[in-house]
Amino acid sequence: MSGSDRPLSEGEPILLYRKGERSIPLSLVAGKRVVQGFGVVDLTPAIGLREGDTLTVAGTPYTLLRPSLRDLIATWPRATQIVTPKDAGYLLYLANVSPGSVVIETGTGSGALTLFLARAVGADGRVITYDRRPEHQKVARERLAFAGVADRVTFREGDAAAGFQESAVDAVVLDVPEPWALLPAVVQALRTGGSLVTYTPTYNQLERTVRAIREGPFGEVTALELIERPLHVGEGGTRPSFEMLGHTGFLAGARKVASAP
């Protein structure tokens, strides 16, 4: 059964969509409650409906949808700098993540990359996410639960420099200030043939990381920056937007090609 054929069930996130309005994902729970922007609502009638069906709330008709990755992440207040979608997409490619993969991530931060990874590994895969800040993990844990993918994520609190508990994982993804300091732990946890990806905001961090990777049992080492240029599609013509994200972060990727340097 495809996504839109599957009835909406209690507990999953939904979107009340109306053209031209900003939609905020809501949890589909039965009974009356106060929902920001709506007042007191009862979403019970949405249970069992399908994407595309109409639900009237406070006299206004809305189209029912399941929130996309974009809907979910766009509304999160930032606890930390999060990985941007353009970088997350390429990061999944470098990490060679597919359904069933087992991936270690450090750090959890706001949980944005955790959500990308959790959706990519699918119901049969696993993401083990480490962070030394319990308050970040608490927020991320709630967000992943809301998104309905917490069952495929293991949250581990602690400094990853002390080592990962897992071994023979398919990929390790590092979004921390000092990725080079975690390479001994990465080498121990990654299976031969597995992928390492790092995400760092400055040239100095990237250089130090790539040099350290080259000294380890890694091959296929690559480093890059992605530039995203939004386009303004107007009635009079289409042009690049005047606003552009100048810089986000640098990606480095590598594969473990031997069990020792």
Ligand X SMILES: C[S@@+](CC[C@H](N)C(=O)[O-])C[C@H]1O[C@@H](n2cnc3c(N)ncnc32)[C@H](O)[C@@H]1O
Residues that bind ligand X (CB under 6 A): 80-83, 106-113, 130-133, 136, 159-161, 175-177
Cα maximum dimension of the chain: 66
Tell me whether residue 130 or residue 180 sits nearer to ligand X (CB atom).
Answer: 130
User: Least Å distance between CB 82 and ligand X?
Assistant: 4
Q: Which value, to the nearest 10 degrees, does the dihedral of the CA atoms of residues 191, 194, 164, 91 take? A: -170
C-beta separation of 139 from 109 below 8 A: no
User: Least Å distance between CB 137 and ligand X?
Assistant: 8
Tell me whether residue 30 or residue 161 sits nearer to ligand X (CB atom).
Answer: 161
> How far is Cα 165 from Cα 252, in angstroms, rounded to an integer?
24
User: Least Å distance between CB 43 and ligand X?
Assistant: 28
> How far is Cα 144 from Cα 136, in angstroms, rounded to an integer?
12
DSSP letter for each residue of 220-231: EEEEEE-----E
User: Least Å distance between CB 197 and ligand X?
Assistant: 11
Tell me whether residue 170 or residue 175 sits nearer to ligand X (CB atom).
Answer: 175
User: Least Å distance between CB 122 and ligand X?
Assistant: 19
Tell me whether residue 109 or residue 125 sits nearer to ligand X (CB atom).
Answer: 109
* Integer Rg of the chain from CA: 21
User: Least Å distance between CB 161 and ligand X?
Assistant: 5
* Sign of the four-CA dihedral 81, 105, 144, 19: positive
Tell me whether residue 108 or residue 195 sits nearer to ligand X (CB atom).
Answer: 108
Tell me whether residue 51 or residue 87 sits nearer to ligand X (CB atom).
Answer: 87
User: Least Å distance between CB 180 and ligand X?
Assistant: 11
Structure tokens at 19: 């053209």
Backbone angles phi, psi at 196, to 5 degrees: -120, 135
C-beta separation of 159 from 178 below 8 A: no
Cis ω for the linkage preceding 37 (within 30 of 0)? no
Tell me whether residue 23 or residue 108 sits nearer to ligand X (CB atom).
Answer: 108
Residues in Cβ contact with 242 at an 8 Å cutoff, skipping those fewer than 6 apart: 232
